[in-house]
Homo-oligomer: A and B are copies of this chain.
C-alpha cells in the first residue's frame, strides 16, 4: 500500500527552509561565487578553449547582421555570458564528465557513450541548451547551426584522437557562442533605438 501523503497544515512550516538551517551550522558549506567563476575560466583554458576562440564563433554567427561588429565586442559578450552562474554550472559539470571519461573513471555503459560521443546520448545537448536559454529562445537556431558545422575551435574539439574527450565541451562552447550572439542581437537593438531617439525632434515637453 502506498503511504498517503498529507501536505502539512497551516502553522507548520510547509517545507524545511534549507538555506536557513544550513546557515546556522558552524563550519557549514557556503557557496563561493568567485571561486566558481574562477574555476570556470581555469577549466576552459586547461581544456584548450580561449575566449578569443569563442569570440570568433560569435563573429561568424553575427557578422552578416552587424557588419561593424568587432572581435573585441564579441569577446566582451562571451565574457558576459560566462559571468552567469547557470552557465558556469553547466561548464563545470560538462568538463568534469569529459575529464572523467578521458580517465576512464565512469561506469559502463556511460563511459562508452560519453567517450564515443554517442549520437543517441543527449545530456550534452541538454546542458548546452540550459546555457542558450539564459539569453532567450532566439539562440536555438544559432546553437544548432554551429553544432552541425563545427567551425573554428569546435572542429578541433571534435577531432577524435583516441585520447581527448570533449563530448560535453563542444556543445557547451557552441551554446556559449549562441548565447553571446543573442546578447549582441538584444544590445544592438537597444543601441539603434537609442540612436533613433536622439535624432528625433522631441515634443518640447522634455519628457519621453
A189 contacts B109, CB within 8 Å? no
Number of copies: 4
A126 contacts B125, CB within 8 Å? no
Say if the beta carbon of A77 comes within 8 Å of chain B: no
* In the bound complex, CA of A13 to CA of B34 (Å): 42
Say if the beta carbon of A64 comes within 8 Å of chain B: yes
Interface string of A140-182 (1 = CB under 8 A from B): 1111111111111000000000000000000000000000000
A78–chain B nearest beta-carbon distance, Å: 12
A137 contacts B107, CB within 8 Å? no
Interface string of A44-58 (1 = CB under 8 A from B): 000000001001100
A109 contacts B10, CB within 8 Å? no
Write 12 A-B pairs (CB below 8 A) sorted by A numbering.
A31-B118, A31-B120, A36-B109, A43-B107, A86-B122, A93-B123, A99-B107, A122-B138, A128-B140, A134-B134, A134-B136, A144-B148
User: A residues within 8 Å of B by Cβ?
Assistant: 1-10, 12-15, 17-20, 22, 29-36, 39, 43, 52, 55-56, 59-60, 64-65, 67, 71, 84-86, 89-90, 92-93, 96-97, 99-100, 105-110, 112-113, 115-123, 125-130, 133-134, 136-138, 140-152, 185-186, 189-190, 193, 196, 208
